[in-house]
Amino acid sequence: MMVRTVALVALAFAVSATAARAADSRHPDWPCAQAKVPEISLAAVWAGPELGDAENKWKDDGRISALVSKLAARKTPLDEAEKAVKEFLASSSADKTANAKLLFAGLFDTLNAQRSQVMSGLERVSRKQREAADKIREETIQLQALQDAKPRDDAKVDAMSNQLIWETRIFEDRRKVVRFVCEVPTTIDQRLFALGRVIQQEME
């Protein structure tokens, strides 16, 4: 029992220490190793003509809005999305440039919004993790005090140990999810860049 409790204490302190580190001091709630880039720059993903009023008008076109929703969905494979872009613009004939700008403007808006949502969610979870780490740290100190008490109450030690095991497991599970979700903004960047490139190629 003593070995198990000592190991648990060591793990709990490791958990709290991990939560305390921020990868970027400018964004203390940002939990990812990748630098936080709040928004995708238009210039980084679009070398085509000025979008002009397309930035505001794309939502007024039902066909464009529906296609944007399909293309922006991560469940739509990228190759399928690229094919849909080509088919749509091939059928646009004289309106190809106007439709291409509307389509990209919609994708830029929608994917940037998706990205912001994911990043806000990551920061919310990061704050919860920090709170959880503080709680684990406090309960670890309480557990050590219970261990050292004379006479020692083994029932309380067991109860506190089991609680710490549960809380530490939840913390670790969340950390694994965060590590996975940290890849999503980059995936969105890549999707927007790839679709923007196809749109520009189809305009030429």
A 10 A CB-CB count for 77 gives 9
Cα separation, 28 vs 121, in Å, equals 14
Q: Which residue has the higher pLDDT, 112 or 4?
A: 112
Cα separation, 195 vs 108, in Å, equals 10
Question: Within a domain: residue 42?
Answer: no
Question: Within a domain: residue 180?
Answer: yes
Which amino acid makes up residue 192? L
Question: Within a domain: residue 36?
Answer: no
Question: Within a domain: residue 190?
Answer: yes
Any idea which residue has 């505001």 for tokens?
56
Measured CA to CA in angstroms, residue 156 lies from 36, 59, 129, 136, 153 at distances of 43, 61, 25, 16, 6
pLDDT at 8: 52
pLDDT, tens digit, for every residue of 117-152? 999 999 999 999 999 999 999 999 999 998 888 888
Question: Within a domain: residue 154?
Answer: yes
pTM, whole model, 2 decimals? 0.79
Question: Within a domain: residue 146?
Answer: yes
Q: How would you label 1-30 residue by residue, b for 16+ Cβ within 10 Å and e otherwise? A: eeeebeebbebbeebbeebeeeeeeebebb
Measured CA to CA in angstroms, residue 201 lies from 36, 97, 106, 122, 132 at distances of 30, 11, 18, 35, 49
Number of independent structural domains in the chain = 1
Question: Within a domain: residue 48?
Answer: no
Structural domain boundaries, residue 164:
2-15+53-203
Contact 178, 122 (CB under 8 A): yes
Question: Within a domain: residue 153?
Answer: yes
pLDDT at 12: 54
pLDDT at 57: 92
Contact 38, 116 (CB under 8 A): yes
